[in-house]
Structure 1
Amino acid sequence: MERSIFMKSIAAPLGLILFLTSIGLAISFAFPQRSKAAVVKSSAAFSLFEQRVKKPSSLSLAQATLVNRIDEMTLAEANLAVLHLENALKAYLPTAIKRMNTPAIQQDIKDIYTPGMSMVLARSKVKQSQTRVVLQDLTAMDYKLVLGGGRFYPIIQYKSFKVFKPYVSKDLQAYIELMATESEQPSAVNGTLLINWYKVIERAMAYEDFLSTYKSSNRTIAIKEAYNVAKEYVFNGTQNSPLFDKITQVMSEEAAIAYENTLSEAGPEQIEASPLLIQLEEFLMLLEKNGDKKTQAVKDFLKSI
């Protein structure tokens, strides 16, 4: 396959992997230490939220408190509250998945499910009371219903976090946008890409930009994990959507077109400022010298990045 055939074409932003790899709760809070006096003077809204967010049974009330009263909090309180809410939802997620993952509940949902169905709509249509109770609880916590690998499970619905953006710091605003994009359209599920190659590189660039812009953000570690996954997709694809054909070892023509167009649109200045784009440019040049195939030289390059 000659590079010349990779002509510019028109085509069109954690996947589920993002959420599953970040379920862990090893998160530290990167905020300035507050004095004892400041702690005493915490707003009533923040105190009430903190009281409610600590228990799964009152998690939905904590969310309601934050939605309705975040404007009564200071910036530091609002930041901390949003982070605590996300942590609580992550902490409960394994339990939520386990509650939904029974044969009876799975079948009950399957009987009424249509693509894209919301948790609240599924709750209203299922026939078994046990299923209805589980979905009601998860709906109250604002989880999202997704289907992958023939199984139904909940994920955090980051789109609902957008209501908090006017009240939190710039890095958390950017973080919420990145996570909402991934939760609304996961990059991949069960080893299959669900987005095109333009968006594969676009999302990796978005994560890289966050890491470059917000070096001391509380969510740097989470975005770094997402970036590493996205970068793996860029240079290797996934198990069921590989970048190189498993038999011929030739690179996907669609990916090559998307990557070349991305570099062309970025231009020298943006490429120079992005380690990812520099590597991508070197990658394409090496492939051109190797007939667009995953030769040993290409494998060695991939190991080095």
Structure 2
Amino acid sequence: MKQTTFTKKIAASLGAILFLTSAGIAASGTFPNMAASAAAKSSSSFLLFEQRVKQPSSLSLAQGTLVNRIDEMTPGEANIAVLHLENALKAYLPTAAKRMNTSAIQKDIKSIYTKGMPMVLARSKVKQLQTSMVLQDLSAMDYKLEYGGGSFYPVIQYQSFKVFKPYLTKDLQAYFELMAAESEQPSAVDGTLLIDWYKVAERALEYEAFLQTYQTSNRAAAVKEAFGVAKKYVFYGSPKTPLFDTKTQVMSEKAAIAYENTLSEAGPEQIEASTLLTQLDDFLVLLEKNGDTKTQAVSDYLKSLEVPGIP
């Protein structure tokens, strides 16, 4: 079978499992030239960043400090700073969402919103001063405007973290690539899958590849959580895009084709290297024996995978 772009991505992800080791995580040796030059510089930039990142009121200043002065930090400081920035954005996210979630602000944004509108553009178009102020604050912190479930809400704009890539260890480069992909194209919103079944499998395999390659990464736990959600989508779908028809319990034909092609294109060696692909292969064999229907035997197999089902 001719390799597609999708196949090549899967091969690359799984190839990492076979040929990379967690030794690639170590900062020492990752940036030899940078380490030599940064060691002679003061860490005042890092200290300034740390001072600013601790307070929501100066979070946008902390970002500016990191963007403009990360090259003045040691490799270790740069990695810690980027992680602390993500931590701060995550910590403030519930407050950011609460600030935006008032009927007046929601109505104001809805009156001017078009799909994919950047938060900074929305801020310039809204009519109420309070809405403008909230959006100004959140856009300065580099949150992204999203819509789902009948309301607008902020999310972390992981795409902007790519500017830090040259200063990060390999595991963090890979981590922020994964987070940016999910941020730019969410797997699901309001219980509906927004990606096709090929991408559903691909996302899960990319998370698996990360976990097997970077087992001791600082962000392994976060990726493990994302992998759990992605694996649920693979074997169950989502509440509004279920893998099995809610009436007939027959598996989605599109999903069956996508999964069969994924396995065919991966091949025996890559299937053996991936627990997820092995499970998917066994799953499809079982389904074939059961008329592609979710029988008790299929349900029992899914339970054995310890993947949480659809609520």
- Shorter chain as denominator, the TM-score bin is 0.7 to 0.9
Match of residue 23 from structure 1: none
8 Å contact kept, 1:11–1:198: no
Task: Could you tell me which runs of 5 or more consecutive residues in structure 1 were left unpaired when the two chains were aligned.
Answer: 1-6, 14-29, 33-40
The alignment status of 1:251 with 2:247, answered yes or no, reads: no
Counterpart CA distance in 2 for 1:80 and 1:11 is: 34
Q: Which residue of 2 aligns with 1:63?
A: 63
Match in the other structure for 1:142: 142
Question: 3-state SS of the aligned residue for 1:112?
Answer: coil
Query: Which residue is equivalent to 1:98?
Result: 98
Which residues in structure 2 correspond to 1:12-23 (within 5 Å)?
none
| Structure-2 separation of matches of 1:188 and 1:106 | 21
User: Which residue pairs with 2:15 in the alignment?
Assistant: none
Once the two structures are TM-superposed, the CA of residue 42 in structure 1 deviates from its matched residue by: 6.0
Q: Deviations over 1:124-166 (max 9, x none)?
A: 0000000000000001000000000110000000000000000
Matching residue of 1:126: 126
Q: Name the structure 2 match of 1:3.
A: none
Deviations 1:146-199 (A, max 9, x none): 000110000000000000000010000000000000000000011110000000
- 1:52 aligned to 2:13? no
Poorly superposed stretches of 4+, deviation over 4 Å: 10-13
| 1:298 lines up with 2:287 in the alignment | no
Q: Is the 1:145–1:155 Cα contact (8 Å) retained in structure 2?
A: yes
- Is the partner of 2:144 in helix, strand or coil? strand
Are 2:109 and 1:114 equivalent residues in the alignment?
Answer: no
Aligned to 2:33: none
**d(CA) in 2 for partners of 1:103, 1:31:** 48
- Report sequence identity in percent: 76
1:74 is aligned to 74
Quote the residue 1:16 is aligned against: none
The alignment's TM-score, normalised by the length of structure 2, stands at 0.86
Q: Distance in 1 between matches of 2:85 and 2:215?
A: 22
Contact 1:236 1:244 in 2 (8 A): yes
User: 1:217 maps to what in 2?
Assistant: 217
Q: Which residue of 2 aligns with 1:188?
A: 188
Structure 2: how far apart are the matches of 1:31 and 1:145? Answer: 34
- Aligned positions, number: 275
Report what 1:87 is aligned to: 87
Q: Deviations over 1:257-297 (max 9, x none)?
A: 00010001100000000000000000000000000000000
What does residue range 34-53 of structure 1 map to in structure 2 within 5 Å? 43-53=43-53
Q: Structure 1's 144 and 275: CA in aligned 2 closer, same or farther, altered over 3 A?
A: same
CA distance in 2, matches of 1:241, 1:74: 47
Aligned residue type for 1:66: L
Matches of 1:71 and 1:213, distance apart in 2: 27
The residue aligned with 2:170 is 170
Give 1:11 deviation, angstroms: 9.5
Alignment RMSD (CA, Å): 2.0
* Residue 267 (1) aligns with residue 267 (2): yes
Determine the C-alpha separation between the residues in 2 that align with 1:74 and 1:173: 17
Hey, what's the Cα distance between the residues in 2 that align with 1:42 and 1:143?
30
Amino acid at match of 1:303: K
Q: Is contact 2:27–2:169 with CA below 8 Å preserved after alignment? A: no
Please list the CA deviations of residues 81-140 of structure 1 after superposition, one character each: whole Å capped at 9, or x if unmatched. Answer: 000000000111000000000000000000000000000000000000000000000010
Closer, same or farther: CA 11–249 of 1 in aligned 2, 3 Å:
farther
TM-score (norm 1): 0.87
Cα distance in structure 1, aligned partners of 2:71 and 2:233: 39
Q: Is the 8 Å Cα contact of residues 42 and 72 (structure 2) preserved in structure 1?
A: no
Aligned partners of 1:100 and 1:153 also within 8 Å = yes
